[in-house]
Structures are given as structure tokens and as C-alpha cells.
Structure 1
Amino acid sequence: MAVVGPVPLGQEICHIASEFEGIDVIPLFYESAEQSPRLIENYKFPVDMYIFAGPSPFQLALKFIPNSSMAYYIPFEGADIYRLLLQVYEQYNRFPVISYDIVDQDYLIEVYEENNLTLIPYFLHSHKDGFLDSNALVRYHLKLLKNQQVEVIATTMNAVYEQLKSQDVPVFLIKHTKSTIRDMLVKAILKEQDIKKKELQLTVLRFEIKAIGVHDKQAVKEMITEIIIFGQNYLLSTSIVENMVVSLFSTRGVFEKVSKERTDFTFIEAMNRKKQLLVHLGIGIGDTAESANFNAQKALEHASSNERGSCYLIDEDKRIYGPLGTKESVSYPLLFSNRKNITLTLRRLYAWLFLVRKTKVTTRDISMGMNTSERHASRILKSLCDQELAEITGKESMNQKGRPRHIYFIHLDKLKEAAN
């Protein structure tokens, strides 16, 4: 983690970042925010994550941040403004008219409303008004002060603060609270961990080769070899060949790098330029080998339904994308909208049915077997019927009081597919 900011604030961020285990902190300190692009450009070692002391250095350095690195800035939030106002009040015993820079206007409005300060005007220059460098911000604040429009200046930039302070101007530096810094670091680290986890997800690319017209064994053999070499050279993958289907096994991070974040599928287009062959590709991403394989097979089924060679992808959330590499590419959920919760329910249901070896059940059976209410069991069975995973086959015999319950037949094979 590289911390980019002025010396006092940068040191504070580095100190808090050192509280987290497994984080190596690299200080990249500047005297003014305008130096941040040069700091990024001159640092030649790989960095997983850049943390900027505020939005100004972040905006200035944005185009210099390597594509392989994540970058975040610590925003100036309500707690930071509260602390600033407390310092101002301690000195003035009242709330004067203040000129702010960079802070989010929504936070200012919220803080002023909560403290009944809405009748006290203030001035704000934010990035939405156009970026100003340190010298321009100094001139902006001094003009308001000279015209007696404000009494006090509150800046987020250390270089602006130092210049105004040297001129004996009533100025305060808006600083991040430790909790603001810590909260942002936690969010950034968790985001980075989530990205790393996704990069390691198993990705299966399943190529299906179809002969057009006369079956040319030599052409098929050459295409299989071409696909395997493609996998070895670009995806660092292992491969399995079954008849006319070649499966390559890689990771999400490698695949998305090769496909330029799923935008470049010229490799499948090149394979389909050979007139005697048609190549379809199904890509599956999953948290387990079984899930990735299942998703790849389903994606291939969608691709194979096209007359031309095409490519479809199904991710870990059972969302399908395709045909990839075309203007017609769309995405939509494969089965359910609330996929994660429903998948967990389906897996539990399938495991229980497989254990008790039952395919015919009632709401009471589901209620008892899954330790849930009959109302919830009824919703589960209705959902299964809607998805054609179950059907009503009759009613139980009347040997007890009350209305007879429906008997449902569960299609276990379909349920197993839906649960994966």
C-alpha cells in the first residue's frame, strides 16, 4: 500500500495503516498536491493499492496510476467538518462566515442543518466547480477575505494552509479524524481482498468444434491443437479433450487480462474464419470446480444454439453474458433474481431429498425436513413449480382433519442443476 499525501497527514495515515497485519506501507509524501503525479510516475515498483490523502491529489494523479493497481482517496466527511467547527468556535466563541474548499457540499449542508447553523452563510469551492491548484485556491480564498465576504478560511490542502498561515490570515486546516482514516482503509483493504479472491476464481473455457459440410478430421485435429496452444500461451491453462470439445482451465484474473476485461474476443473470431469449421465457446466462472464446469456447459449450450460461432459466459452469480464480442451482447440472470439465498435453499433441499431418498413430498414434509414453517415450505414448492423443478401430482388421502395437502413430485436431476 502506497500512501500519497502531505507529510503530517501522510504520516498519520501510515501510522494507522501499520495497525493492519500483512500490509506493507510505502510513504510517498509531497509538499503540494501538484507533485502527486510525479511521485506515482517515478515510483517504479509494483503497488497493489494507492491511498490518497484527499480528492485533490487523487484527481491529479489518476491518469498516472497503473491499470494493475487500485486507488482510493480518503474523503473529507461530516466528522472532519464537526471537528473544524469546534476548533473555530473555541477561538471565536461564535460561528463566523467561512470559506471552504474541496469538501463535499452534502456534508456541509448536513452538518449546518444538524447544528442549526443554516442562517449562517458559507462559501465553498469544490472539484465540481473546476479544479484549482494550490496557488489558485489561495487567490480564491484571499479574494473572498479581502472583499469582506468571509471571516475565516478552512482548507483541506496543506500547501494552501501553509501559504495563508505565512500571511497571518485566519485559516484552519481541515484534517481527517482517525476514525475516518481507519474506516476508509478498512473499506479499501476489504475491497482489495474481494478483488484478489475473484481473480483466483476457477474459470473454464469450453470450446465446441463443429464441422460444416463434410467432416474434415485433419481440420478438426488442427483446430484442437490451436486451442490447446492458445490456452498454454495466453491462459497458462491445462486442457482436456473429449471428442469435439476442448476444455481449458484457468483463473478469472488471467482470463480477464487476456480478454481485456471481457471486451476482446478476437481469438474466437479468428478461429471461426476457417470455412470448414464452426467454433462455439462457453465460459464458466465459479467458486468451485463443479460450479465453474456447470456454468461453462450451460454457457456452451447457449452459444451452440447460434448459427454462427459465438461466445457466452455465466458467472458465479448465475448471470449470463453474450454473445460476447458483439454489439448485441446483453446480460441477464440465468434463473433467479435473488440468486444467492435461493441457491442455498435449493442446495439444502436437494441434500435433504437425496438423504431421505424422496421425490414425492408435501408442504408438511418440507417443513419438518428443512426445519421451517409450512408457509415458507409452501413458498419453496411454489417457486419450484414456477421453475418447472416440481409439479403437483395429487392430494394426500383424507385420514385426518383439515384440507388434504397437495403432493408434489420433485425433479431431482433438474433440482441438482439449479442448485449448482
Structure 2
Amino acid sequence: MYKIGVVGPNPLIERILSLEEEYKHEFQFVSFPCTKTEEVEEIVKKNCSQVQAWLFSGPIPYEIAKKTLGTDEKMVYIPVTESGFYKSYFELAFDQGKLITRLSVDSMSTVNSVEEATQQLSEKPLKIYMKVFKSNADQQELLRFHEELWKEGKTDGVLSCFPVVCKALREQGIPAYWMSFSKMRIRQTLGILAEKVKTSYFKDTQIGIEIIEIEHFNKIKEKAKNPYDLQHLELRLKGILIKLCEKLNGSLIEKGNGQYMIFSSRGTIEREISALEDAVQKLAFEADTTVTIGIGFGETVFSAERNAFRAIQHSKEMTDNEIVIIQEDGTIVESPGKNEELLYSNYTTNEDLMEKLKKCNVGVKTYKKITALVERMGWDIFTTKDLAVHLQMTERYVRRIVSDMCDVDLVRCIGETSHSTRGRQSKLYQLS
């Protein structure tokens, strides 16, 4: 059974919990009622470790939580779709005892979804005044939007995503209904959440293997004054690794000649990256040399170990010997947990792309790494120097790669930088 945190206004939480009996063998719901969107950030921060997943009553708290936690892997929200619009519209019509033809609506959804819904209501289209907002919506601004249209005589009713806005409008005698969702939509969303949680669980329990290598270990042995000094060093190194194993709930295998393997689970390793970084620093200090780390995930021990060896080889090719992870699908993660984290794949199924890369003699991994960096940095334009600095490559090498990609229209040269002093101008590039 999975513990699910339900976040939203009390009326919506009650509607969700009305289905609790149907999911009693699958979910345990924990309510986190809130009246203001500002409360969502504190709720998810404080209770993240207490639940396995989050269910939000709408897109606004969902977007806030996603930004707060930095991921949406274990969270969903219940969207207001056509059925939700119909439900609220007919409630408004029944309440007023007449067919409402002029409405003001606020929504985080696109205008097209509301237009499609209204077009299907009758042959006579409705007049809709739409206000689309973002997750940081100003409720007072939305309130003024509806008030002004009503006072100008342009609308006969209001549909809003905010119960507070509806309440304030009703107090002024303006017909307003809260645009919410149906039980059918709740069930559909819970089905999606169940799949997300199960996928995350199986992913979390995948086998994870860390290969830790003390570099230049042969030279360390040569420098040792006697065998006992070397044995004392190995005991100190092993002590650091055993403490790391305790945090990872893993097992340590000594491969010899300065190489060690730790077997654990993917979820534990991902959560304890900072502990691994601390251990690496201690190992490097004790051995007075660099330490290389490769991590592999897989469905079996064989696939995880293979990925770990590929990862450590990849790390050795990097200038700073950063930690590298290779996931079960071949996705490469460089510098995990840091601001410089870079995630990209080393394969493609796009035949047109493969043909172009073959013509310009650039590897798929190199191309994917460049595009991943450009996207992560948010660069609309970039120079070869920008790429060289972040990719730990020489500018000359990067210039050659970019030039070759320009020849097959994977990259476009769109101009040059101007310098007041003499020197070579830098060309400006853009991904095609």
C-alpha cells in the first residue's frame, strides 16, 4: 500500500476522499488542506519524506510543488477537462434557472480546450471572456477581471478555478461557480498515479553497483617503504568504504590493486550521492591520488556491472574525473546531484540524424552531449568557447566538431561577436 499526500482546498479533498473505499487496498490517503497557494511549498517540503507520492487538486499547487522539489516523478494533478467545464457550467445554469450565454472564465488550461468544450454545448456558441494564468496567479487580479466584465454588463456568470474568487464574487451578488472535476476524472488520475508509483518503485529497487578505483595504485605500492605501510593504507581506505556501505545498506567487494565494488540499490545510491562524494574526498586524501567513480544501474547484476565499468571508463576520459552514472537504458549522467549535472543518451533511432552524423564523422554520444548542454544552459546562441569550457574539451577540437555539424545542417552559424581589440572573432552558433 502506498501513502499518498492529497493537497488542495477542503471541498476538493473531500471529493477525492469520497473514493477512498475503492482504493483502500492500494492507497492510503493523507490530507493536507490549504486555502492559499503559498502554503503548498511548505507542505511538500515538510512532508516529502512521509509520503510515497503526491496528488494535487489542480495544476497550480502541482506546478509549485514541482518547482519546490525539482521533479514531478511522483506527483500528478487532477485536470479540469471538458467534463469539468460542462459540470460547472450546468450547475451555474441550474442555479440561475436559465441558459447562460455570456461567461467570464479563468483557467490555467489553454484557451483551445475551453473553446472546444463550448462549441460542443449547442449550435449557438457561447460568448467567453477568457483569462489564462500561470502558477503564480494573482487572485486579486483575477477577481478584478471578473468584476469589471460584470459591471460593464458583458457577462451573466463566472466560472473560476479559485474557490476564494468564487466566494468573493458571490458576496457581491455575482453568479459564480467553482470549476472543478468529476469523480470519473479522479479515478482516471488515480490510475495514472498508480502507474507512476509502481514504475518509480521498480526503478528504485533496481540493482546499483559502484566501482571505486584508486588511481596509480601501482605507484603507491612502489613508494611504500615496507609492506606494512601499504597494508595500513588499505585498512584506512577500507574503513572509509565500510562506513559508506553502512549508509548505502550495501556490500563491499575488494577487487584488488586499488579497485572496490559496492552493491546496493538504485534508490539508495541516488539518495546518497553526497555521502559518496564525501567518501571520495577522504579516499583521495588518504591515498594522495585521484579517485575515479563509475555507477551502473540495471535489472540484473550483469547489466548493472557492465554499466558501472562503462561509467568508470567514461569518468577517466573526463578532465576532472567526475562521478558518472550509466542507467539501465544507456542514459549517461555526469556530475549527478550538482548544478553541472548533465544527462544525455548515447544512442538514437532517428535515421536522418544517424545519416548526418555519419557524414560529418561525429559520434552520437558527442552530439547528444552538446545538445543536452545547450538545452540545460538555456542557450539560444553559443560559441565554441562556451562548449569547450563546459565540456572539458579543447576549443580547437570543439571548433572542428561544430564546423563539421554545420556542413550537415545540424548547427547553424548565425553571426560573429565583435571585439574592440584585435584578435580572432568568435562565431555565434545555434542548434538547427
TM-score w.r.t. the length of structure 2 is: 0.64
1:84 & 1:281 partners in 2: Cα distance?
56
**Which segment is superposed worse, 157-166 or 52-61?**
52-61
Q: State the match for 1:146 in structure 2.
A: 151
Of residues 3, 7, 18, the one that matches 1:4 is: 7
Q: Secondary structure at the match of 2:6?
A: strand
1:183 CA displacement: 1.4
Q: State the match for 2:417 in structure 1.
A: none
Whether contact under 8 Å (2:63, 2:135) holds in the other structure is no
Q: State the match for 1:25 in structure 2.
A: 29
Q: Secondary structure at the match of 2:155?
A: coil
1:86 & 1:259 partners in 2: Cα distance?
53
Whether contact under 8 Å (1:299, 1:313) holds in the other structure is yes
> Cα 1:219–1:115, aligned 2, differ >3 Å: closer, same or farther?
farther
> Cα 1:219–1:320, aligned 2, differ >3 Å: closer, same or farther?
farther
Q: Secondary structure at the match of 2:55?
A: strand
1:34 & 1:330 partners in 2: Cα distance?
31
One-letter identity of the residue aligned with 1:16: L
Q: State the match for 2:55 in structure 1.
A: 51
- Matched ranges for 1:325-364 at <5 A: 331-334=343-346, 337=349
Whether contact under 8 Å (2:209, 2:264) holds in the other structure is yes
Whether contact under 8 Å (2:82, 2:113) holds in the other structure is yes
> Cα 1:117–1:107, aligned 2, differ >3 Å: closer, same or farther?
farther
- Summarize deviations over 1:104-151 as a string: whole Å, max 9, x none: 123113323455779643223333395123x55444322220121222
> Cα 1:256–1:102, aligned 2, differ >3 Å: closer, same or farther?
same
1:161 & 1:142 partners in 2: Cα distance?
11
1:337 CA displacement: 4.5
- Residues paired across the two proteins, number: 335
One-letter identity of the residue aligned with 2:263: F
- Matched ranges for 1:202-351 at <5 A: 202-209=207-214, 210-211=216-217, 213=219, 215=221, 216=224, 217-218=230-231, 221-222=234-235, 224-244=237-257, 245-259=259-273, 265=277, 267-273=279-285, 276-304=288-316, 309-322=321-334, 331-334=343-346, 337=349
Unaligned runs of 5+ in 1: 339-420
- Summarize deviations over 1:70-89 as a string: whole Å, max 9, x none: 44322211221133344456
Q: State the match for 2:353 in structure 1.
A: none
Q: State the match for 1:196 in structure 2.
A: 201
2:198 & 2:67 partners in 1: Cα distance?
24
Q: State the match for 1:109 in structure 2.
A: 115
**Which segment is superposed worse, 91-100 or 303-312?**
303-312
TM-score w.r.t. the length of structure 1 is: 0.66
Say if 2:110 is the partner of 1:98.
no
Whether contact under 8 Å (2:58, 2:78) holds in the other structure is yes
Q: Secondary structure at the match of 1:316?
A: coil
Q: State the match for 1:392 in structure 2.
A: none
2:341 & 2:200 partners in 1: Cα distance?
24
Q: RMSD of aligned C-alpha atoms?
A: 3.9
Specify the structure having the higher radius of gyration (Cα): 1
2:242 & 2:331 partners in 1: Cα distance?
29
Of residues 164, 187, 196, the one that matches 1:182 is: 187
